[in-house]
Amino acid sequence: MDLYSGYINKLIEEFAALPGIGNKSAQRLAFHLISMPQEKVNRLAKVMIDARANIKYCKNCFTLTDTELCPVCANQKRNHKLIMVVENSRDLAAYEKTQKYEGVYHVLHGAISPMIGIGPQDIKIKELIERLKDDVEEVIIATNSSLEGETTAMYISKLIKPTGIKVTRIASGVPVGGDLEYIDEITLMRALDGRVEM
d(CA 154, CA 121): 15
Same domain, residue pair 95 and 192 = yes
pLDDT tens track for 9-32: 999 999 999 999 999 999 999 999
Identity at 20, one-letter amino acid code: G
Same domain, residue pair 49 and 74 = no
Residue 174's pLDDT band (boundaries 50, 70, 90)? low
Q: Compute the C-alpha angle 142/144/150, nearest 5°.
A: 90
Specify whether the backbone of 131 is left (phi greater than 0), alpha (psi in -120 to 50) or beta.
alpha
Same domain, residue pair 112 and 133 = yes
What local confidence, expressed as pLDDT, does residue 134 receive? 86
Same domain, residue pair 44 and 79 = no
Q: Find the CATH number of the domain harbouring 30.
A: 1.10.8.420
Same domain, residue pair 39 and 88 = no
pLDDT tens track for 56-104: 999 999 999 999 999 999 999 999 999 999 999 999 999 999 888 999 9
pTM of the complete model: 0.76
* Strand 64-65 versus strand 56-57 pairing type: antiparallel
| 59 inside domain | no
Same domain, residue pair 97 and 48 = no
Q: Which tops the pLDDT comparison, 173 or 139?
A: 139
Same domain, residue pair 28 and 99 = no
Q: pLDDT at residue 180 above 80?
A: no
Other CB atoms within a 10 A radius of the CB of residue 125 amount to 20
Same domain, residue pair 170 and 101 = yes
What local confidence, expressed as pLDDT, does residue 173 receive? 59
Judge residue 147's burial from the number of C-beta atoms within 10 Å of its C-beta, 0-12 exposed, 13-18 middle, 19 or more buried.
middle
* Strand 196-197 versus strand 56-57 pairing type: unpaired
Same domain, residue pair 39 and 117 = no
Other CB atoms within a 10 A radius of the CB of residue 117 amount to 7
d(CA 122, CA 163): 23
Would you say 198 and 153 are in contact if contact means Cβ atoms under 8 Å apart?
Answer: yes
Q: Range of 74's domain? A: 64-197
pLDDT tens track for 130-170: 999 889 999 999 998 788 888 999 999 999 999 999 999 88
Number of independent structural domains in the chain: 2
Same domain, residue pair 180 and 116 = yes
Same domain, residue pair 107 and 144 = yes
Q: Find the CATH number of the domain harbouring 107.
A: 3.40.1360.10
